[in-house]
Amino acid sequence: MRVAAGQFAVTPYWETNAQICADLMAQAVVQQAALLVLPEALLARRDDDPTLSVKSAQPLDGGFITRLLQASHGNTMTTVLTLHVPSTAGRAVNTLVAIRGGEIIAHYAKLHLYDAFSMLESAQVDAGDNIAPLIEIDGMNVGLMTCYDLRFPELALSLALGGADLLVLPAAWVRGPLKEQHWATLLAARALDTTCYLIAAGECGNRNIGQSRIIDPQGVTLAAAAEDPQLIFAELTRERIMQTREKLPVLKNRRFAPPQLL
């Protein structure tokens, strides 16, 4: 299965961001990708206003998603991204959306909010309560996570124990001391914890690091971006998963009960 991860610097204007997403989708379709993962919180961003994305929140039938649903018509590629969806006054839900063939096929409310490193996502964002069901793409089961979820191995493990072969992670990983090292280490660790492929798409720009990666079940980086806008690709195979799980049967060797997140 051919997969892609795309990164770009989100602008303050949702119409511009929607067009960038549609262009990346078109490029991935030309390259025959079955799955494209885009970054987190794509509606709007401005360096001097960290609350802009929440203030720009749109419902799932708003202009942003409607534009991307139009872009997904006529092909079978699945695209995964996140945006803020309004909840109560002044608040929103950080919502992952998977679209295919002009329809929303899954959505997931981010479980773990980024209340760390002097930031407080929960000040304006409501956390989700449930693990998203797996989605199927070309015979592979795909588990859905968002950004800060990466730091919680029990979520990735729950998805793997539920049958996931591949984990996807839209992200906007904030710059800071050692943060790039954390990103690379955690991505490899979650792949190794679960013996799953992992596709992570990071927003780039002045605030966030970019560094999108596609990682195989043994923690090997198959494709990687740096800090600039880029679209990366890799080929995934079920054989690699099966070979890894035969040699490294960590999911079978576990002696703890499946983790209970909530």
Which positions are catalytic? 40, 110, 147
DSSP string spanning the chain?
Answer: -EEEEEE-PPPS-HHHHHHHHHHHHHHHHHTT-SEEE--S--S--BTTBTTHHHHT---TTSHHHHHHHHHHTTS--EEEEEEEEE-STT-EEEEEEEEETTEEEEEEE-SS----TT--GGGTEEPP-SPPPPEEETTEEEEE--GGGGG-HHHHHHHHHTT-SEEEEEE--B--TTHHHHHHHHHHHHHHHHT-EEEEEE--SSSB----EEE-TTS-EEEE--SS-EEEEEE--HHHHHHHHHH--HHHH--SPPP---
